[in-house]
Structures are given as C-alpha cells and as structure tokens.
Amino acid sequence: MNFKVDQEFINNIVNYFIGGICVFDVDSKSLSLKPLYMNDGLYRMLGGTKDNIDHIFKDLRISIIPDDMEVFEQGITDILADDGAAEFEFRIVNHDGSLMWIRFHGNLYSRDGSSNIVTAVLLDCTEQKTIEEELKRQSDYMHLLMDTDITFDFNCRTDVCIYRFTQTDALEHDSVIKGYHEKLPSLGIHEDDIGAYTEILESAMAHPHRDKLEFRSVGLINPTDEYRWYRADVVSILGKEGYVSHVIGHIVDIHESKLKEIELKLRADHDGLTGLMNKQATETLIKNTLEQYKKDKELVGAMMILDTDSFKHIIDTYGHSTGDRVLARIGEVIQNNFKGMDVTGRIGGDEFMIFMHNIRNPENAENLADKVQFLVRHSFDNEEFGKDVSMSIGIAIAPEHGTDFENLYNTADKALYYVKTHGKANHKIYSESL
C-alpha cells in the first residue's frame, strides 16, 4: 500500500483536529496576541461561527477571567523567554456566555524586535478541570472526617472506572477497570448491596445530581477476606455536550461506626429480657418475608402465636422476678430451636410470635410447637412454680390462610383462642372446624 503525504493531506489533518492549532504574533510589551492563523478545529472546539470566534481572538485578553490573567501573562512570558515550550491553563468567557477552560501549549518560533511569532496548540480542558475541582473539593472535605481516601472516576462514555488509593498501606496504586458497569456484580460488593449500588450509579449516569450509599465490599477496595462497610459519595459531571460524561466521588471506610450503629439498632429492635425482637421489629420483618410468598406460590410458611398460660397467677403468687425467669427461659428456648431465616419476637408481656420460613409442610410447625411446649413445661420441674408453667400456641399456614400479615395474625389468634378455651397447654393449626 502506497501512502503519500502531501500538503493537502497535512492541511486536512490540521483542520480536522478538534482543537486549536494556531500561529500568533505576540507583542513583547503588551503581551497581546494577534492571530495569524487559526485552523478550523479551533472553531469547532469553541462551537461558534467564524465571526464569533474571530471576535474573541481579536483581543483574547478581554475574554479571559480576571483571576486567571496573571497565569496567562506569566505563561506568555515563559514562551517568549525561549526556554522551550510552555503550557498553562486559563478560563475564558466563550461566545455563548459559558466558561471554558483552555490549555495553551506554545513555543516561540521567531523574534523580530517586539514582534514574536508563537505557534500554539489550544485544547478544551473544561471537563477535566471540573472533575479535578470536584475531586479536590470532596477530598478536602473527606480529609476532615476520615483517614482513608479512595476516589473514583467513572467515564460513562468508555465504561472505564479509575480508583485512586491514597493514605493506605495496602492499596497504593491506581486500579483501572474496563467494562466497569458490566463487571459490577463481580467486583466484591455484597450481594445484598449490589442492587442499590447499581441503581445509584445508573441514576447518576442518567442525570446530574449528588447521592450517597452505604455498602459492604471485599476485594477491590478492601484487600481482606472479610466484608467491610463503606460509604460512597457520588456526583455526576456534565460534559460540554450537555449530558453526563463522568460519575466521580469518594469512598470512605465507615466499618467501625457502622457496626456501632447496627449494634444500637439491634438493641432498639430487641427485647432486653428475652433477647428476641420487639413487636414492631417482628411485624416489620414478617411483612418483608411475606413479600416472597406473594411471588413464589411454592413456599410454605407458618405463623405461631404463643401465649404463656396462667402468667398472671405466676406473678401474683411467686413475684415478678419469677415471671421474668419464665419469660427469659421461653426466649432462650425459642432462640435455640428456630433457624436463622425464621422470625422470632416478643409481642406482648407474656405473648410471643414466630414465623417459620419455608417449612415444606405444616407437620414441621406442629413438631416444633410440641418441642417448644415440652422444653418450656419441663424447664422448672425442680421449682415450686414449675407445675404452673405451660404454653398455648395457635398456628396459621401461608399461603393457605393468606399471604399478608393481618390475615395470618387473625387466623393464628383464632386458633390460639380455641386452645386457651379448651384446656390450654396445647397447639392447633387453624381450620374452619375450630
């Protein structure tokens, strides 16, 4: 293949370059620039007509932001010193009134008295400067709060995310992740948090705004084998075309404070005497669990309401401390005999609630009800009050008796009422025959 480079080819390359390739006559005294040549790429970069852009460069100094004039003058002075190429950045008011950052890379070509011919390349670095300023602003803020400093820059156009790690011993280099959006599920974010993380990212990509998210991660930003809690502070950056081009922000380690927060919440959600969840937390968690039953008709669950028989008699006869011992023991039995996916709580003075998740068949609920009643009944065999300790249990089955909390509660309560009025110390699954 023969490839010939001629003047026309060079002219086309110069004019199609998105950026300014210019020649200026610079006055040594006033440091004013008189354009001798400006390529077509400069007009496309600034997005205006020839007349608009020519008007700006007729006296560029008028369009430069006053705060940046010193930088501009020093940069031109450095070029005229003929010590090699000089590069500097400054802001101008563009023809449409918007601010634009210009990177000026220039070199002295020739000198004749006070007239100096300077060749220069001008580039639009607005987007880059915006990102740098936002990251610096966030960095300054985060340094006041945290020692850990992880910044990220996600390029929405290229689907590349760059993580920068500072002030950490284990992570001292940048990580460049190509295909970031697609790879999110495999980057070590906890499976319970990946949905929210993806939603935050996609929302930031769709329109400019600020957001934050707490999530657990292991691997990329946490070189250990255990998940740690982090907070991501996210901000969208608009490109000059008017749509989001970058999503940037900070990730900070909040593990210790998050664990304390979780501990405090657990204390607030749990009953201090029995260790079980309180009424509000129990109802909320059961309602959340029942959402699965509305979607998956194959699941079978059981709601139990457990009532301590003759509890008022126990307190009146043996005192409140004995009543507390009985309740604490019931809580212990319940905690030891139900699996992690089950919901267990104390919903009243001597009343408890259990939701058994995915029991396969109702007989499993009856078997566990039997076991709980047996263990509670024989917990105080050697105590004077032991003969008075027993439990009555009403049971409702999901989805047979419903898949919402109120229906199941009312149904289990009817079964419990039947047991309480037919001898107590027993259990029943609700049926129409009751």
- Per-residue pLDDT of 374-390, as tens digits, reads 999 999 999 999 999 99
Q: In what order do the strands lie in the sheet with 427-429?
A: 343-346, 351-356, 301-308, 391-398, 427-429
Fold of 7-124: Beta-Lactamase (3.30.450)
Q: Residue 169 — very low, low, confident or very high, per pLDDT cuts 50/70/90?
A: very low
Q: Using CA atoms, how far apart are residues 196 and 405, in angstroms rounded to an integer?
A: 26
The pLDDT assigned to 3 comes to 46
What pLDDT score was predicted for residue 140? 56
At how many degrees (to 10) do helices 362-377 and 320-337 cross?
Answer: 140
Q: d(Cα 120, Cα 108) in Å, to the nearest integer?
A: 9
Q: What architecture is domain 270-429?
A: 2-Layer Sandwich (3.30)
Q: What is the pLDDT of residue 60?
A: 92
Number of other CB atoms surrounding residue 210 within 10 Å: 10
DSSP strand pairing (115-124 vs 20-27): antiparallel
Query: What amino acid is encoded at 402 in this protein?
Result: G
pLDDT in tens, 113-147: 888 999 999 999 998 888 887 777 666 555 544 44
Greater confidence (83 vs 122) lies with: 122
Q: Write out pLDDT tens, residues 15-33.
A: 778 899 999 999 999 999 9
Look up tokens 């292991």; give the residue: 218
CATH 3.20.20.140 fits 128-255, yes or no: no
Are the C-beta atoms of 429 and 395 separated by less than 8 Å?
yes
Exposed/middle/buried for residue 340 (C-beta within 10 Å: 0-12, 13-18, 19+): exposed
* Extents of the domains making up the chain: 7-124, 128-255, 270-429
Of the two residues 60 and 146, the one the predictor is more confident about is 60
Mean per-residue pLDDT for 212-233? 88
Strand partners, 151: 164, 250
- High-pLDDT (> 70) share of the chain, %: 92
Of 79-93, 173-187, 405-419, the poorest mean pLDDT is in: 173-187
| Three-class secondary structure of residue 25 per DSSP | strand
Of residues 340 and 411, more confidently modeled: 411
Using the CB atoms, write b or e for 394-422: b if 16+ within 10 Å: bbbbbbbbbbebebbbebbbbbbbbbeee
422 SS3 class: coil
Identical fold for domains 7-124 and 128-255, yes or no, is yes
Contact (CB, 8 A) for 55 and 35: no
Rg (CA), the chain: 36
Binned at pLDDT 50, 70 and 90, residue 268 comes out as: confident
Note the pLDDT of residue 97.
87
Residue 148 pLDDT > 60: no
**252-279 average pLDDT score:** 85
Q: Which two tokens stand for residue 281?
A: 């937390």
Identify the residue whose tokens are 């970069």: 45
Q: Which pair of tokens denotes residue 137?
A: 């602003």
